[in-house]
A = this chain, B = another copy of it.
Amino acid sequence: MRADSRASDAARLLTEVGRPGLIVVDANDHPVAILPGSQVLRFLIPRYVQDDPALARVLDEEFADHLCDALEEKTVRDLLPKERVPLPIVAPDDTMLEIAAIMAANRCPLVAVVESMSKTAPMIGAISVSQLLARLMPEAATT
């Protein structure tokens, strides 16, 4: 998902693939951030309701129906948290153990794979902690 894509398209993608977050890339397809699904909710739900979720009961149905309208005029960049969620980057020749160490150190469920370690290199894939664990677990045990 590009940083200048429509925010509503990002929200829709989050619902379609059932993922907890999206990787955001710049105009060169270089990964720059993670957009967690919860961040979309932080943008949509008024701050005073986040501070006291019981207040959500006083909002009427019409409010809920038009909650997502705000996404139509925004870009993904507008949604990104000020404190960015770290997005570790790995190279195609990094070993599984290196990737595992990077995920562990960053407490991150996802790393982006880039063509090279240049700051403009495009993303060529992503590896989730689930995929990595599947490769690390003994094969006999996964059958």
Question: Within 8 Å CB of A106, what residues of B?
Answer: 38
8 Å CB interface, A88-126 against B = 95-98, 100-110
A128 pairs with B18, CB closer than 8 A: yes
Q: How far is the CA of A142 from the CA of B38 in the complex (A)?
A: 19
B53 pairs with A105, CB closer than 8 A: yes
Partner of A109, one of B37, B105, B108: B37
B136 pairs with A97, CB closer than 8 A: no
B129 pairs with A14, CB closer than 8 A: yes
Question: Within 8 Å CB of A110, what residues of B?
Answer: 20
A45 pairs with B133, CB closer than 8 A: no
Q: A15-B133, A67-B136, A136-B68 are in contact. Are A101 and B45 (CB under 8 A)?
A: yes
Question: Within 8 Å CB of A67, what residues of B?
Answer: 97, 136
Nearest B residue to A85, CB-CB: B107
Q: How far is the CA of A18 from the CA of B132 in the complex (A)?
A: 10
Nearest B residue to A105, CB-CB: B50
Shortest C-beta distance, A120 to chain B (Å), equals 22
Q: How far is the CA of A53 from the CA of B96 in the complex (A)?
A: 11
Q: A68-B137, A104-B41, A109-B37 are in contact. Are A130 and B15 (CB under 8 A)?
A: yes
